[in-house]
């Protein structure tokens, strides 16, 4: 699972996911990309599940880029604990995703294969996503 080696703050606040993604909103490395259509948190387990599905569906022909990383720790209090007594301990890591963000990129396969791979991949994610292709400038 993905997790940062070192963070400035151990227990970050929740934050807001308002507006569109400013960075990482165009296909930079591959030919096709999976673009987020709604905001959400994607856990490191979900990223790993999507990566496995992509690598299995493209076999050894193509290349995959993961454009998101789980930087945010999500805390949880133990079960059957009374209110108060501070914030819980970090449980898992999430990537904060806003609409317009490219989540994964693929290269080396045709559109039909990429479409099928991204369809399987988006089933593993908690947000809606669509396939986009690279714009040649």
pLDDT in tens, 36-55: 999 999 999 999 999 999 99
Residues in Cβ contact with 65 at an 8 Å cutoff, skipping those fewer than 6 apart = 29, 30, 104, 105, 106, 107
First to last CA, the chain: 36
What is the token pair recorded at 23?
Answer: 């960075």
Residue 136 and residue 67 in contact, taking contact as beta carbons nearer than 8 Å? no
Checking if the pLDDT of 137 tops 80, the result is no
Write the pLDDT tens digit of every residue in 54-102. Answer: 999 988 899 999 999 999 999 999 999 999 999 999 999 999 999 999 9
Please give the CATH number for the structural domain made up of 44-78+88-131.
3.90.1170.10
Instruction: Tabulate helix, strand, coil % of the chain (nearest 5).
Output: 20, 30, 50
Q: How confident is the model at residue 10 (pLDDT cuts 50, 70, 90)?
A: very high
Task: Tally DSSP H helices, then E strands, for the chain.
Answer: 2, 7
What is the token pair recorded at 90?
Answer: 């970090």
Read off the pTM. Answer: 0.93
Average pLDDT over residues 99-119: 95
């Amino acid at each position: 699972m993905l997790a940062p080696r070192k963070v400035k703050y151990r227990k970050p606040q929740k934050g807001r996911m308002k507006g569109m993604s400013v960075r990482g909103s165009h296909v930079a490395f591959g030919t096709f990309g999976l673009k987020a259509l709604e905001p959400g948190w994607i856990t490191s387990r979900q990223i790993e599940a999507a990566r496995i599905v992509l690598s299995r569906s493209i076999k050894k022909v193509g290349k995959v880029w993961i454009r998101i990383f789980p930087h945010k720790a999500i805390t949880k209090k133990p079960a059957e604990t009374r209110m108060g007594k501070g914030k819980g301990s970090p449980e898992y890591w999430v990537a904060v995703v806003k609409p317009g963000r490219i989540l994964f990129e693929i290269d080396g396969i045709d559109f039909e294969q990429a479409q099928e791979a991204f369809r399987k991949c988006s089933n593993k994610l908690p947000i809606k996503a669509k396939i986009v292709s690279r714009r040649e400038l």
